[in-house]
Amino acid sequence: MGAAAAAGLSPREARAAEPVLRVRVDRNTVEVGRPVTVEVEVKSDDRGRAQEPGDPIMPDLPGLKVAFRSSGMSRSMTYRNGLMSSETTRTFVYNLTPLQPGVYPLKIGVNDGGKVVLAKEVVTLTAEGATMSGAGSQQAQAPAAEGASPSSERLSEEVFAQIVTNKKRAYVGEAITAQWEVWQRVTANIEVDMLPVFKDFYAVELKAGEALEQFVGGRQWRVHPAVRRILFPQKSGKLRIGGGTLTVSPSSGFGLFSRPRGRAFTVRGEPVEVEILPLPARNQPAGFSANNVGSYVLSVEVDRQDLEQGEALTATFTIAGDGNLKVFDPGEWPTPTGMRSYPPKESFEQRVRDGKIYGVRKFEVLYVADTAGTIVFPAKQIDFFEPESAKYRVSESASIEVNVRPRAADPSSAGGGVVPPEADLSRPEADALAEQDQAGELSPVLGAAALERGHEQVSWLTTQRWKTGMLTVPGVGVAALSVAALAKRMRPSAQTIQARRHRSQARELLAKARAGVDGGVEFEATLGALVQAAAVRKAGDEAVGRERSRLLDTLRSQGCAEADVSMVGETLDACDAARYGAAAREPAERARLLRGVESLLRSWEVL
Amino acid sequence: MLAVVLCGPVLGIWSTVAGADVVDSAYKSAGEAAMVGHWSEAVTQYERARSLLASPSAELEYDLGTAYAHTNELGPAVFHLRSALRLAGNDRVREGARRNLSVATRRVSLRAEVSGARVSMYEGWKSRAERLLRSQAVGWMSLLAGAYLAGLAIVRVLAPGVLRRLRSLLLTLGVICACLFLSLGVTRTIALGADPEAVVAGERVPVREGAGHHHATAFHVEGGSVVHLKESAPGWRRVRLDDGLEGWISERSLLL
């Protein structure tokens, strides 16, 4: 007890906590040859630690290539309860490239003072697809791959190109994946002068992959998969794939800061030979097409199994599988007794997955049932050569029974009854139908003895007339507005109108005064009114309603001649005197007075 | 000289009559050939009559289109039946042309379905709207609206008192007419300026990516399709199908 207590209380050697590893991958499943980014985070507590843990120990798995990309470090410090603690996090990024299919458990650890600490969680990486060959296989055991690794001579160069194939030996028509890789270990501008030549191969272009970083021969290389194709050899023998040519201009720096370094040089890719075997003659079916190489399945389905005599059905034959399906020769399609068939409508889809080419080819054959009864579609066989097993195989569709009912007796229903869905018609059938409806559907020709003339209803409203009319409307509007504006502008002003009115009134009064010269009737009154009005107008608005002396003063102040003012005053006085009988005048005197007034009014422009 | 002056009108009248006789003769022969089912001969004679006829005839277009439909030359059939409808002959012609055109277009669709070629026959809302705007009714409506506005402007100048008395009524009508005038005027102008149409002749005509046989074939269009003409190059026309696809067709494959 005491010992235990002593042990419990005795001072221990300060020991740092174990580092913690966290492994992250950007994806768990990948195609063979494609890189996966792995991030290893090593978190360690700095307390009591004499030295930091080492770099991650990556798994050394056959078929898995590891390339280091980058690393980073961060440190965090915490102050809590008077204690300072710090933690260091180091992050390492790697590219893992599987070179053969399989499941790769990524057991990653770090060396912590002589002890290997593993990540608690083991991440697995699944690689799918065909085994890769070539330089990248140096770490991998790729049994199926026969591609050559870059030779030491090649690896001594700064830039080189090579063809990598997944097979060095194949049968005629068998798919071979070929990739043209450009390797570089220096910064350079690389231009492709000539692509590899795939003579004697039927080639299907694949999407070129992304550039990879590889550590080979003690050096870091950047590998560009420039061209990737699936090749189908068209003849047997040793076929050659040309190596292509590059122009390399070494440079230093990147982007805008890139500068040429040394002279440009040409790099020629080394051609690759592939041995193509002829298809075996043994067990080869009669009339076998050399294009039928691959692995295929044939199936058939019909759109209906119960139809009336004369009706059509569509049988869809589907061939699916991997291989060069586009050139696959399916042979003749069966035509069961009691039916007639038309040339098939064909559709084809192709896709590439895991370096293999898959396709689905459909043949839609239109059959028209000529006879009633049960008609059996016989099984259809396709022969193909399977390279994997090096054997000839057969795929057979199921046989299908179709029930054909006798045609309805009513002949009038024949036109509608025999019409298959339009989408399923083949050309002869469409023409046949067209012939059928010639008699019934089309309205007959007129068949007149002479052609009627002049009955065509030609519309008066032609486009030109309509446009003219539409343009006329704004024209009329503008013209009307212009006229209105002009009229407004030309109309006399209120002042002018008033002046005219006054002038007219003055003339009337003058005429009346003239008339009264001889008889004296209302002569003075009229003349007085005339002179008074003229004087007021001459004096202006301020003279309105004023007494005579003021009126005369105003006239003077307006600049009227004194003689005129005196005449006004005298005339008005004389008129007043005469009106009140103070002084009777003779006609001659009235005439003189009138002349004087007339002369005054003219000088004032009242008349 | 006198003989020429006197004989001139006589010869002119004679030549017109002779021309009419030739046209009628060809037309009659075509009708007789059609009656006994010799459609190729009927087409030849109808075409002859058409080439001799000075002005287009709805009856002749209808008969020719029908004869072409019988010979399964659907491009010319659609073209002539459409012409017959456009020329608007008598009721019998209109009815027959409409019916035969629908038969021909159905066959074109059928043929396109079988051959895998594209077809451009179904009118979308745009085509219908354009046709409506191009119609006489819309033309007259816009013109009448414009005439009202013009009248209003004249009344305002000549008899402003009338305008003052019926101010609210006239102005309301004026606003309506102005809206009609502007909207119909603009849209009808656009519709009248729309791309002209043509009918594709032949069967499964290749539509190329450029003007020339050396250009790749973008797709095929079935004869009888109605396409819009967009652009022209010597011997070639750039066309647009109703679904918006465009390409170049040899002029020889188009009926304009």
Contacts of B92 in chain A (CB under 8 A): 446
- Euclidean distance between CA atoms A364 and A381, whole angstroms: 16
Reported ipTM exceeds the 0.85 cut: no
A455 CB near a chain B CB, below 8 Å? yes
> Residues in chain B, how many?
256
pLDDT of residue B123: 66
The structure's pTM equals 0.39
A452 CB near a chain B CB, below 8 Å? yes
Looking at residues A315-321, what average pLDDT do you find? 92
CB contact under 8 A, A427 and B63: no
pLDDT of residue A411: 40
Residue B208 has pLDDT above 60, yes or no: yes
pLDDT in tens, A351-362: 877 667 888 999
Contacts of B107 in chain A (CB under 8 A): 430, 434
Residue B78 has pLDDT above 90, yes or no: yes
Among A362, A445, A483, the strongest candidate for a mutation testing the B interface, having the largest count of B CBs within 10 A, is A445
pLDDT in tens, A392-418: 999 998 888 899 988 764 443 333 333
CB contact under 8 A, B150 and A467: no
Name the CA dihedral angle for B165, B166, B167, B171, rounded to a multiple of 10 degrees: -160
For residue A434, the chain B residue with the least C-alpha distance is B107
Residue A250 has pLDDT above 90, yes or no: no
CB contact under 8 A, B150 and A451: no
Contacts of A464 in chain B (CB under 8 A): none
- Euclidean distance between CA atoms B92 and A101, whole angstroms: 77
pLDDT in tens, A263-272: 888 888 888 8
Contacts of B24 in chain A (CB under 8 A): 449-451
pLDDT of residue B206: 92
pLDDT band at residue A505 using 50, 70 and 90 as cut-offs: confident
Span between the terminal Cα atoms of chain A, in Å? 150
Chain B: nearest CA to A203, how far in angstroms? 21
Residue A433 has pLDDT above 60, yes or no: no
Chain B: nearest CA to A311, how far in angstroms? 16
pLDDT of residue A61: 83
CB contact under 8 A, B153 and A481: yes
Lowest mean pLDDT among A75-79, A138-142, A374-378, B94-98: A138-142
pLDDT of residue A410: 40
Among B59, B78, B101, B149, the strongest candidate for a mutation testing the A interface, having the largest count of A CBs within 10 A, is B59
Name the CA dihedral angle for A23, A28, A34, A35, rounded to a multiple of 10 degrees: -10
pLDDT in tens, A160-195: 898 888 888 999 999 898 888 888 888 888 888 888
Q: Which of B202, B240, B234, B190 is nearest to B79 (CA)?
A: B202
Report which of residues A45 and B185 the model is more confident about: B185
Chain A: nearest CA to B3, how far in angstroms? 32
Q: Which of B142, B143, B156 sits opposite A480 (nearest CB)?
A: B156
Retrieve residue A485's tokens.
């504006």
Retrieve residue B204's tokens.
């499964």
Q: Which of A423, A433, A455 sits opposite B90 (nearest CB)?
A: A455
pLDDT band at residue A364 using 50, 70 and 90 as cut-offs: confident
- Euclidean distance between CA atoms B155 and B166, whole angstroms: 11
pLDDT band at residue A141 using 50, 70 and 90 as cut-offs: very low
pLDDT of residue B93: 87
A346 CB near a chain B CB, below 8 Å? no
Instruction: Count how many Cα atoms sit within 13 Å of the Cα of residue A452 in the half-sphere of its side chain.
Output: 14
Q: What angle do CA A208, A213, A217 make, to 5 degrees?
A: 120
For residue A467, the chain B residue with the least C-alpha distance is B189
CB contact under 8 A, B157 and A461: no
Chain B: nearest CA to A569, how far in angstroms? 49
| Helix-, strand-, coil-residue percentages of chain B, each rounded to 5 | 65, 15, 20
pLDDT of residue A255: 61
The size of the A-B interface in CB pairs under 8 A is 139
- Euclidean distance between CA atoms A357 and A321, whole angstroms: 8
**What are the contacts of A577-584 at 24+ separation with CB within 8 A?**
A578/A523, A578/A524, A579/A524, A579/A525, A579/A528, A584/A520
pLDDT band at residue B253 using 50, 70 and 90 as cut-offs: very high
CB contact under 8 A, B143 and A470: yes
pLDDT in tens, A33-46: 778 888 999 988 87
Complete DSSP assignment for A14-32: P-PPPPEEEEEES-SEEET
CB contact under 8 A, A459 and B189: no
pLDDT in tens, B17-67: 445 578 888 888 888 888 888 888 999 999 999 888 878 888 899 999 999
CB contact under 8 A, A447 and B34: yes
pLDDT of residue A72: 83
Retrieve residue A102's tokens.
């399989």
Retrieve residue A277's tokens.
């075997």
- Orientation of helix B58-70 relative to helix B2-35, angle to 10°: 40
Contacts of A420 in chain B (CB under 8 A): none
Chain B: nearest CA to A98, how far in angstroms? 42
CB contact under 8 A, A451 and B23: yes
